[in-house]
Amino acid sequence: MAKVRDIVLMDKPGERVLLLGNEAIARGALEANIAVYAAYPGTPSSELTDTMAMVAQKAGVYMEYSTNEKVAFETALAAAWSGLRAMTAMKHVGLNVAADTFLSAVGMGVEGGFVIMVADDPSMWSSQNEQDTRVYAKFANVPVFEPISPHEAKEMTKYAFELSEKFKHFVLLRTTTRSSHARGDVVLGELPEEIKQGKRKFGEFKKDPSRFVDVPANARRFHPQILEKIEKIREELAECPFNWIEGKEDAKVGIIAPGLAYAYVKEALAWLGVNDVKVLKLGTPFPVPYKLLEKFLEGLERVLIVEELEPVVEEQVKTWVFDKGLTIEIKGKELVPRVYEMTTRRAVTAIAQFLGLETPVDFAKIDEKYEKVKTIAPPRPPSLCPACPHRNSFYAIRKAAGSKAIFPSDIGCYTLGVLPPLKTVDTTVAMGASIGIAHGLSVASGEKQIIVATIGDSTFYHTGLPALANAIYNRSNVLIVVLDNFVTAMTGDQPNPSTGETPHGPGKRIPIEEIAKAMGADFVAVVDPYDIKKTYETIKEALKVKGVSVVVSRQICALHRIGQMRRRGEKWPLYTVNEEKCTGCKICINAYGCPAIYWSEEKKKAQVDPIMCWGCGGCAQVCPFGAFEPIKEGEQ
Amino acid sequence: MKDYNIVITGVGGQGVLTASQILGWAALRAGYKVRVGEVHGMSQRFGSVIAYVRFGEDVYGAMVPEGKADVIMAFEPVEALRYINYLKEGGLVIANSKPIPPVQVSMGLAKYPSMEEIRNIIENEFKAKLIAFDAEELAIKAGHAITTNTVLIGALTQTPEFPLSAEHVKEVIRLSVPPKAVEVNMKAFDLGVQAARELLGL
Ligand SMILES: Cc1ncc(C[n+]2csc(CCOP(=O)(O)OP(=O)(O)O)c2C)c(N)n1
């Protein structure tokens, strides 16, 4: 198993390798001779950005971790204006953040190819909402591609750059969790000379205010131009290699399978043993190429559209059929759920129902049997890591502010503070929202309610900054605790302005306390959450101040630290329970809740799992009886 | 071969994703069309984790459909039970018997089932076979608890009708781990093979 970096840079056209969907897209971008890449991480898009970070310098690509999706979008866009091939990537909600620029700039078009990769998360495995980026494609009149496999994702990336350049238009590459996080066999293509030599490419921005300044007089020209472009692209896509018709030519029944749904349809047909249908595989759910659709519909009496989430293809197909005055029975969302992700089970069930067949296994029976499992398998939600500094911060905040205080929080690992026993997260909405919500709650309560907001470092730079300015300017009365663990932990340990480092060397560190001071916060302090008492006392003090208080709770992410120590072969202290001192009061479990601590029913004592303990010593500070003791070196 | 489907389950941090990648590579090197399905992000933080490894002609998506897994390899007993709906009738579950009680259990908010309860549902309700053994103990015997996943992969290769040879999979592990970890992993693999053969009566 070679390293991802080496595979993605491998100069062996024709070689078959195993790559994650996101890694395959990175390879596709290199094969397309990308020059500039800028993105802010977000599951399930992050591995694309992380792979670009690994290969960029060697391949002569400018790559950055931007501070949010909007600036990432603008960075890549300006490079594309300058004639370079450029790409940005984000999770679905990232496009909401970048939407202002996206929808305003789309009429200006580009010179170099510009590909916007957006990763959706149907079923919300790691997300705060379920949204369908293909709706944005329609909204902005931008073509959207959706791959069925890592190999196709790579090929589509290349094609997307070419299409973008040909029509001077934006192109969306939409994945989902199941295509971004699927590993599959990929055949490597040629790498361009410049990538092989690692030569940075530079562009030139040619001034044209009539195009790049969107005053109304110019913008009025853009809208009709966009509509004209998208119809030309619709024509072009009838010939695109990712759209095709397969199956029985003179079939009476057809199935339309957009994006990854094609994979489930193929499996469902094989599982059902059905082979007398015609299938339209659509790699471009918007715009649906009408020429190809017309050919597909020839001779069909009934059509089923197996589509995940919103009826984007369904509406286009139905509109076209209606306009042509055809009488074909078309079923879609009646048989295919509009919520959550597509599965083979869903495809099998819909197709079986549509064709009047039995499913190959009795899913209802499986569900029935599974009811028993549900009653006896204890839930195992994710939790903060052992030694996570956020746990200590929440513990101290709750103790200092009391349970009557309201705790608006934000998006990051610390969102897990919602779970028992910490329960110090009362609201989360979208990145950066903690501060605005805290301010609004304070206003609503007449500044009487104690409000303690928590926000991570990465989230603070992302969208916390303008919210803090607003709170200070409007003389709010809130405490904001910035949980500064130096990295963007939730999405896989990416650097940000608190880290100071970039993947390619030193960046510039921006200390959060200096920002708070410069903005005029009424109280600013920095604490180490590994010192729980001091953290508690500082929060108490901050709560006495009327106005906006900012406490930066700073300690390196435990997962990051342990990873580094493991690589260096270093050891960390391990804690154990002195059973003579443990009274079985369970404070460590019922108030602190470190996953390394568990309860022994036999002994009626707390125990530490030595494999899970990462040695922060928080338990020793929390236990009123001093029962947690470090194991002596050598006895570990 | 039309398709072979493996479901791998465990607790975030136990090495479920590493195991799925190794099996994916092994299948690729044996010339198969491969899909590995993973979930990154939130669940990796000590939550319940599932991954899928599939290979063969009829494989397109990355997820094993419910009722279609040939085998489940579980790093933890409750996690074997939680995903049992993926297994086909007559399928096999290979599980590490060492429990990791969730925090909710320690807090007294939930109960951890006994191995008998787990076995009962798997064997009597789902008509499957369960072989369970302390893979962590064998890993420690091999030299390090971190090789628990290698022990389990070793055991997995003994599944009746498993399409890849034990030697082939072992070779992929040898090439995948850092040089200084090769020896412990090879030992761990063999211990897993042995344990499974005994339990399966081979
Ligand atoms: C608009 C948007 N972009 C990206 C994400 C993905 N995401 C979830 S949490 C997070 C940041 C976490 O970093 P930080 O605030 O430093 O907290 P940590 O996880 O390190 O505790 C990101 C980028 C998102 N949910 N929404």
A485 CA to middle of ligand 1, Å? 12
How many other CB atoms are there within 10 angstroms of residue B143's CB atom? Answer: 15
Report d(CA A201, CA A532) in Å as an integer: 51
Domains A4-237 and A571-635 share a fold: no
Q: Tell how far the Cα of B16 is from the centroid of ligand 1, in angstroms.
A: 24
The verdict on a CB contact (< 8 Å) between B117 and A492 is no
Write out the two tokens for A293: 């659709």
Q: Is A3 on the interface with B (CB under 8 A)?
A: no
> Which residue from B minimizes the CA distance to A147?
B61
How many CA within 13 A on the CB side of residue A625? 15
| Ligand 1 pocket by Cβ (under 6 Å) | A 41-42, 91, 93-94, 97, 411-414, 431, 456-459, 483, 485, 487-491
Cα of A511 to nearest chain B Cα, Å: 27
Alpha carbon distance A387, A595 (integer Å): 9
Tell me chain A's radius of gyration from C-alpha atoms. Answer: 27
The pLDDT of residue A636 is 59
User: CB within 8 A of A130, min separation 6: which ones?
Assistant: A121, A122, A123, A124, A309, A339, A340
Res. B173 pLDDT band, cuts 50 70 90? very high
Answer yes or no: are the C-beta atoms of B87 and B67 closer than 8 Å.
yes
A138 closest CA partner among A278, A306, A258: A258
Q: Do residues A442 and A470 touch, judged by C-beta distance below 8 A?
A: no
CATH code for the structural domain at A244-364: 3.40.50.920
Query: Does the distance separating the beta carbons of B175 and A183 come in below 8 Å?
Result: no
- Say if residues A71 and A463 touch (Cβ distance below 8 Å): no
Instruction: Report pTM.
Output: 0.97
- Start-end of H helices in A453-555: 457-459, 465-473, 512-519, 532-544
Grouping H, G, I as helix, E, B as strand and the rest as coil, residue A34 is coil
Contacts of B59 in chain A (CB under 8 A): 267
pLDDT (0 to 100) of residue B13: 86
- Alpha carbon distance A267, A567 (integer Å): 42
Q: What is the DSSP letter of A462?
A: I
Q: How many CA atoms lie within 13 A of A266 on its CB side?
A: 20
Q: Which residues of A touch B61 (CB under 8 A)?
A: 178, 182, 260, 263-264, 267, 343-344
| Alpha helices, DSSP H, located in A253-362 | 261-272, 290-297, 312-324, 344-355
DSSP code string of A52-80: HHHHHHHHT-EEEE-SSHHHHHHHHHHHH
CA A412 / ligand 1 centre spacing (Å): 5
For residue A115, what are the contacts with CB-CB under 8 A and spacing of at least 6? A29, A86, A87, A157, A160, A161, A164, A171, A172, A173
Within 8 A by CB and 6+ apart from A547, the residues are: A475, A476, A477, A521, A522, A523
Instruction: Catalogue the long-range contacts made by A2-5 (C-beta closer than 8 Å, 24 or more residues apart).
Output: A4/A51, A4/A54, A5/A51, A5/A54, A5/A55, A5/A58
Distance in angstroms (rounded) separating the CA atoms of residues A155 and A188: 10
Contact yes or no for A436/A478 (Cβ under 8 A)? no
| A562 in contact with B, Cβ within 8 Å | no
In this complex, how many residue pairs, one in chain A and one in chain B, have their CB atoms less than 8 Å apart?
196
Beta strand spans in B43-202 (E): 48-55, 69-74, 87-96, 129-133
Residue with tokens 């009025």: A220
**Nearest CA residue ID for atom 20, ligand 1:** A489
pLDDT tops 90 at residue B97: yes
Average pLDDT, chain A: 97
Is B164's pLDDT higher than 70?
A: yes
CA A490 / ligand 1 centre spacing (Å): 6
The amino acid present at B12, given as its one-letter code, is: G
Instruction: State residue B188's pLDDT score.
Output: 98
Helix (H) or strand (E) holding A304: strand A302-305
Q: What is the pLDDT of residue B43?
A: 67
Does A126 contact B40 at a Cβ distance shorter than 8 Å? Answer: yes
* Per-residue tokens: B113: 């089932």
Please tell me the predicted confidence (pLDDT) of residue A635: 58
Low-confidence ranges of chain A (pLDDT < 50): none
Q: How many CB atoms lie within 10 A of CB A208?
A: 10
Q: How many angstroms separate the alpha carbon of residue A128 from the centre of ligand 1?
A: 11
DSSP string, A484-508: E-SEETTTTSEE-TTT-EETTEE--
Q: Which residues in B lie closer than 8 A to residue A43 (C-beta atoms)?
A: 40-42
Span from the CA of B10 to the centroid of ligand 1 (angstroms): 25
- The closest alpha carbon to A499, from A517, A491, A515, A511, belongs to A511
The preferred substitution site among A491, A559, A561 for testing ligand 1, maximizing ligand atoms within 8 Å of CB, is: A491
Length of chain A: 636
CATH topology of domain A389-563: Rossmann fold (3.40.50)
How confident is the model at residue A634, as a pLDDT?
A: 57
Question: Residue A461 in contact with residue A498, Cβ under 8 Å?
Answer: yes
What fold is seen in the domain A571-635? Alpha-Beta Plaits (3.30.70)
Q: CB contact, 8 Å: A128 with chain B?
A: no
Do residues B154 and B192 lie in contact, with contact meaning Cβ atoms separated by under 8 Å? yes
Chain B interface includes A591 (CB < 8 A): no
Query: Closest Cα partner for A148 from A306, A33, A29, A30?
Result: A306
Q: Is B103 on the interface with A (CB under 8 A)?
A: yes
List the Cα angle A470/A473/A478 in 5-degree steps: 70
CA distance B198 to chain A (A): 28
Helix (H, G, I), strand (E, B), or coil: what is residue B163? coil
Cβ contacts of B108 on chain A, cutoff 8 Å: 599
Q: Which amino acid is at B196?
A: A
SS3 B96: strand
A344 touches chain B (CB under 8 A): yes
Cis peptide before A624 (omega within 30 of 0): no
pLDDT one-digit tens code per residue, B77-92: 999 999 999 999 999 9
Question: Do the chains contact at A383 and B47, CB–CB below 8 Å?
Answer: yes
Residue of B105, B106, B120 best to disrupt the A interface, most CBs of A under 10 A = B106
Question: Hey, are the CB atoms on A125 and B126 less than 8 Å from each other?
Answer: no
Q: What is the largest CA-CA distance in chain A?
A: 84
The number of C-alpha atoms within 13 Å of A218 and in the hemisphere containing its C-beta is 14
**What per-residue confidence (pLDDT) applies to B1?**
83
Q: Where are the domains of chain A?
A: 4-237, 244-364, 389-563, 571-635
For residues B51 and B20, what is the distance between their CA atoms, to the nearest angstrom? 7
Predicted-assembly ipTM surpassing the 0.90 threshold: yes
Query: What does DSSP assign to residue A286?
Result: B
Orientation angle between helical segments A150-167 and A21-31, nearest 10 degrees:
40
CB-count burial class (<10 Å; 0-12, 13-18, 19+) for A381: middle
Note which residues in 165-224 of chain A have CB less than 8 A from chain B.
Answer: 177-179, 181-185
Give buried/exposed letters for A445-469 (b at 16+ CB in 10 A, else e): eeeebbbbbbbbbbbbbbbbbebbe
- Measuring CA to CA, which residue among A96, A89, A93, A121 is closest to residue A25? A89
pLDDT of residue A633: 66
- Nearest CA to A246 among A271, A281, A221, A214? A281
Question: Which residues of chain B does A1 touch, with a Cβ-Cβ cutoff of 8 Å?
Answer: 21-22, 25, 172, 175-176
Q: What is d(CA B85, CA B63) in angstroms, rounded to the nearest whole number?
A: 13
> What are the structure tokens assigned to A76, written together?
């890549």
pLDDT digits (tens, 9 = 90+) for B17-29: 999 999 999 999 9
Ligand 1 pocket mutation pick from A388, A459, A481, A484 by most atoms within 8 angstroms of CB: A459
Q: Which H, E and C letters describe A381-426, residue by residue?
A: CCCCCCCCHHHHHHHHHHHHHCCCCECECCCCHHHHHHCCCCCCCC
Q: How far apart are CA A496 and CA A63, in angstroms?
A: 14
Which residues in chain A are closer than 8 Å to B107, comparing Cβ atoms? 420-421, 586, 589-590, 593, 599
pLDDT of B39 reads: 80
Chain centre distance of CA B136: 13
What's the gap in Å between the CA of B98 and the closest CA on chain A? 12
Is the pLDDT at B45 greater than 90? The verdict is: no
* The domain made up of A4-237 is a member of CATH 3.40.50.970: yes
What does DSSP say about strands A605-608 and A597-600: parallel, antiparallel, or unpaired?
Answer: antiparallel
**Three-state SS for B112?**
coil
Q: How many angstroms from the chain centroid is the CA of residue B148?
A: 10
